[in-house]
Structure 1
Amino acid sequence: MAVQRSLFLHSDLRRRPYDMLRSMLAQVDPDTPPHGPDGPVAVLERRMASLLDKDEALFFPSGTMTQQVALRIHADRRGRRAFAAHPQSHLEVWEHRGYSVVHGLRCQPVGDRHRLMTLEDLAAAAEPLAAVVWELPQRDIGGQLPEWDDLIAQTVAMRERGAGLHLDGARLWEAQTYYQRPFGEIAALFDTVYVSLYKGLQGTGGALLAGDGAVIAEARVWRRRLGGDVYDAWPLALAALHGLDTLLPRLPAHRDHAVTIAAAINADGVARAFPNPPQTPLFHVHLPVGPDAAMRAADRMVAATGVELFGRVRSAPAPDRCSFEVSVGENAMTLTPGEVVTLIHELLRRAT
């Protein structure tokens, strides 16, 4: 049976080409040019620079390329090859250490892999740093965020040490629902800001790097060197513009729904949601079964009911436990907290 309902943000349910192409059409008229200052990419770049209150923003085909370019620029400017990041930074866990293979950079993991990076952790990094990366929220530990005053203290301290300040803002849109501050105020803490176009905004792909004019000029050269200067990128820009118009205003409601789902899971007690309450629309659900059993049960659920809970599970130190990520978007908004609890029970029943 095909998926009919899904808790999973990136389910194919809302990503069928026909539906996504219709959303792109909502952003254009017959006279919209594909390129140039009035083309979708340029419009998106200007709009994103304004939203983040940065001089300029530059489109990239992927977040991986975007972040490597930002770190390369910080490293070359300072004559240093090391940057600091959380041990479970996306750069370290999900990108095959491209920063090292392609650019000769070194990551100095800072702090405990199971908790947020702290000022004390950063102070203990003895090596001169080209940059420090903050991932807001920290996806792989449940979407946690540092408190605002802690984040300010960390960025001020690292700036005083001469490091460049880079924001992995793939989920900045979600983080803002907790900080309750304008995007520009959050972005102002950092020299360079990367944002994703296909996570909370549910685009077809792509990313942007925002910063001052000199940084973006350098980034444009690196984009060409790395093969990221896509000529016809307008479809990705149109999908992102649609997300800015329709989904960005919905993110506070997504966070509220995440809080109610997590509360229902924890009140039930058969599984555990963390953090409790979620700070953003993203949190983890910890299950009392191993990953293989959970995936088999999930496949059976889709086949039998057409309901999808997740795309993948994460293993845990204990072999009889695992977890999955919930990132609340429009898919999850169609499921009540009670329905999610019932589905978790059904999953566990099928896993035994």
Structure 2
Amino acid sequence: MNAIEFLEQTFNSCERQLGHHGKRNIRVLKEAFEQIEESRLSDRYGTGAVIEDFQAKMAALLGKEAAVFFPSGTMAQQIALRIWCDEKSLKKVAYHPLSHLEIHEQDGLKELHGIQTVLLADRDRVIELEDVKGMTENVACILLELPQREIGGQLPSFETLVGISDYCREKGIGLHLDGARLLEVLPYYGKTAAEVCALFDSVYLSFYKGIGGIAGAILAGDSEFLSKSKIWKRRYGGDLISLYPYILSADYYYELRAPKMGQYYEDAKELAASFNACHGVSTLPVVPVSNMFHVHIDLPKEKAASILAEVQRATGIGFTSYLKEIDESTCAFEMSVGDQYADLPKEDLRRAFRLLDDGMKA
């Protein structure tokens, strides 16, 4: 067994983990459905109280006229950008070089819709107002991801968001929010979801990331926009006969965890400080701006895996199951703080980080 395999094995055997809300097993389903009455009716092809009530609830949360539940965020966002392109009669959109649509969706936007993309900003920083103003090509829509996951969950300032929003409205450019982790950034901004979303014309929110549901997403905007999205949802095969298992779990975990986002944020800052206190370890950002950040280790991937696996084996606390190679001498992994961190005894945490520090020094 090599070091990478040993790292994954030790992580999977740990009963306690630093990040997330716990293992995604059948418990997630059982807990969500435990209190639901057996007589509760399902939705049917996008209609029925269970889906319509939840969509209205999310529209109110996000401060939009309407909302539609989708089985996946990939589907919701591709459809949103297609609608913007149709409305502007221009098949071109702009987003960050490390946007989910650019690197994780097999070019779905381009292959399914023939939409061209303009990449804004450098790969290692967020989009700024100057990047938007400096575009030399006309686009139908700009997508902003908050936080920017692939660079450690970094965020632009709220003033930057206001400036980009004002500019897009002045120029007639649609502004779409990839808010997969929107709730997680609200403590940093000190704003409500509706206050952030007021800057955007359309909004996507995920229910399985920080919220920890099974799957599913909301697309929100004005009523006309969402009516068009329902047509595309049917075309995509997303109008399943019923989506209520996803909706009921999304609602349950939203109510459970939305009030905890401030605590996750504070815990993330505390956890990042513990990593930064270790020799040869640093976080990006140094001080997190949401509940997520990246951990960078100044060692080759195999050596770092050996050290982390030994820490996990000795303490029973899972740090990570994987490492991503940055270059020959550096690797990294992502950390997202959820329910589990607060339940870990502080002395056990201190011991785990002492072992990590000792391993790195050795």
Q: After TM superposition, list the pairs within 5 Å mapping 1:58-137 onto structure 2.
A: 58-137=68-147
Contact residue 188 and residue 290 of structure 2 kept, 8 A? yes
2:283 is aligned with 1:254:
no
Say which of 352, 355, 359 aligns to 1:343: 352
Q: After TM superposition, list the pairs within 5 Å mapping 1:1-352 onto structure 2.
A: 2-9=13-20, 13-26=22-35, 28-35=36-43, 39-295=49-305, 298=308, 305-316=315-326, 318-335=327-344, 339-340=348-349, 342-343=351-352, 346=355, 349=359
Q: Secondary structure at the match of 1:210?
A: strand
Deviation of 1:351 after TM superposition, in Å, equals 12
Deviation of 1:344 after TM superposition, in Å, equals 5.2
The CA distance in 2 between the partners of 1:45 and 1:33, in whole Å, is: 16
Contact residue 8 and residue 311 of structure 1 kept, 8 A? no
Q: Are the structure 2 counterparts of residues 247 and 180 from structure 1 closer, same or farther at C-alpha, using a change threshold of 3 Å?
A: same
Deviation of 1:304 after TM superposition, in Å, equals 5.9
Contact residue 270 and residue 345 of structure 1 kept, 8 A? no
The CA distance in 2 between the partners of 1:339 and 1:303, in whole Å, is: 13
Q: Deviations over 1:101-144 (max 9, x none)?
A: 11111121111111111111111211110100000011111111
Q: Which amino acid counterpart does residue 279 of structure 1 have in structure 2?
A: V
Q: Secondary structure at the match of 1:247?
A: helix
The CA distance in 1 between the partners of 2:342 and 2:164, in whole Å, is: 35
Deviation of 1:310 after TM superposition, in Å, equals 1.9
The CA distance in 2 between the partners of 1:271 and 1:341, in whole Å, is: 15
Q: Secondary structure at the match of 1:190?
A: coil
The CA distance in 2 between the partners of 1:16 and 1:35, in whole Å, is: 25
Contact residue 280 and residue 360 of structure 2 kept, 8 A? no
Q: Which amino acid counterpart does residue 328 of structure 1 have in structure 2?
A: V
Q: Once structures 1 and 2 are overlaid, which stretch shifts more, 338-347 or 57-66?
A: 338-347
Q: Once structures 1 and 2 are overlaid, which stretch shifts more, 268-277 or 226-235?
A: 268-277
Deviation of 1:280 after TM superposition, in Å, equals 0.7
Deviation of 1:190 after TM superposition, in Å, equals 0.7
Deviation of 1:155 after TM superposition, in Å, equals 1.5
Q: Which amino acid counterpart does residue 297 of structure 2 have in structure 1?
A: L
Q: Which amino acid counterpart does residue 224 of structure 1 have in structure 2?
A: R
Q: Flag structure 2 segments of 5+ consecutive residues without an equivalent.
A: 1-9
Q: Secondary structure at the match of 1:217?
A: helix
Deviation of 1:245 after TM superposition, in Å, equals 1.0
Q: Deviations over 1:33-78 (max 9, x none)?
A: 1126654322221111110111111011111111000000000111
The CA distance in 2 between the partners of 1:25 and 1:78, in whole Å, is: 47
Q: Which amino acid counterpart does residue 157 of structure 1 have in structure 2?
A: Y
Deviation of 1:343 after TM superposition, in Å, equals 3.4
The CA distance in 2 between the partners of 1:339 and 1:274, in whole Å, is: 24
Tell me the number of residue pairs that the alignment of Structure 1 and Structure 2 aligns. Answer: 348
Using CA pairs below 8 Å that are at least 6 residues apart, which structure has the higher relative contact order? 2
The CA distance in 2 between the partners of 1:243 and 1:120, in whole Å, is: 38
The CA distance in 1 between the partners of 2:242 and 2:311, in whole Å, is: 40
Deviation of 1:300 after TM superposition, in Å, equals 5.7
The CA distance in 2 between the partners of 1:228 and 1:312, in whole Å, is: 32
Q: Are the structure 2 counterparts of residues 223 and 336 from structure 1 closer, same or farther at C-alpha, using a change threshold of 3 Å?
A: same
The CA distance in 2 between the partners of 1:79 and 1:338, in whole Å, is: 60
Contact residue 278 and residue 353 of structure 2 kept, 8 A? no
Q: Deviations over 1:315-342 (max 9, x none)?
A: 21x3111111111101222236775565
Q: Secondary structure at the match of 2:262?
A: helix
Q: Deviations over 1:139-174 (max 9, x none)?
A: 111111111111100121122222111000000010
Q: Which amino acid counterpart does residue 40 of structure 2 have in structure 1?
A: T
**RMSD of aligned residue pairs (Cα, Å):** 2.3
Q: Once structures 1 and 2 are overlaid, which stretch shifts more, 188-197 or 115-124?
A: 115-124
Contact residue 201 and residue 248 of structure 1 kept, 8 A? yes
Q: Are the structure 2 counterparts of residues 338 and 106 from structure 1 closer, same or farther at C-alpha, using a change threshold of 3 Å?
A: farther
Deviation of 1:311 after TM superposition, in Å, equals 3.7
Q: Secondary structure at the match of 2:277?
A: helix
Q: Percent identity?
A: 35
The CA distance in 2 between the partners of 1:321 and 1:345, in whole Å, is: 21
Contact residue 131 and residue 163 of structure 1 kept, 8 A? yes
Normalized against structure 1, the TM-score is what?
0.92
The CA distance in 2 between the partners of 1:3 and 1:92, in whole Å, is: 34
Q: Are the structure 2 counterparts of residues 188 and 8 from structure 1 closer, same or farther at C-alpha, using a change threshold of 3 Å?
A: same
Q: Which amino acid counterpart does residue 128 of structure 1 have in structure 2?
A: N
